[in-house]
Amino acid sequence: MTTPSEHADPLAHSDPARTDLLPAEALEAVQEIKAENAALKAAERIAEVQADAVVEHARQLAEVTEEVLEELRHSESAADIT
């Protein structure tokens, strides 16, 4: 007995590089999709770099905040002593 997944589109199993048998409209659609995929990948790389920069900036802010808090604690304890 076969399952529905075994009745998948027979074209889906063909070589994806094999586009020479496609009509012109389909070839144009394939090229558009490839261009969109490339643009999405480029946007993803840019977003990853930006996210890394934001994470680094947040880390630096946290570090500076901790240093300022430590200085405030030290100043308060010094003021309490005098």
Tens digits of residue pLDDT in 14-41: 556 676 778 999 999 999 999 999 999 9
Tens digits of residue pLDDT in 41-58: 999 999 999 999 999 999
Task: With respect to residue 71, please indicate whether it lies within any of the assigned structural domains.
Answer: yes
Quick check: 79 pLDDT over 90? no
Quick check: 5 pLDDT over 80? no
Task: With respect to residue 31, please indicate whether it lies within any of the assigned structural domains.
Answer: yes
Number of domains within the chain = 1
Quick check: 74 pLDDT over 70? yes
**Given this model, what pLDDT does residue 58 score?**
98
Q: Is the pTM of this model over 0.75?
A: no
Task: With respect to residue 61, please indicate whether it lies within any of the assigned structural domains.
Answer: yes
Q: Which DSSP string corresponds to the chain?
A: ---GGGG--GGGGS-TT--TTS-HHHHHHHHHHHHHHHHHHHHHHHHHHHHHHHHHHHHHHHHHHHHHHHHHHHHHHHHHH-
| Containing structural domain, residue 60 | 22-81
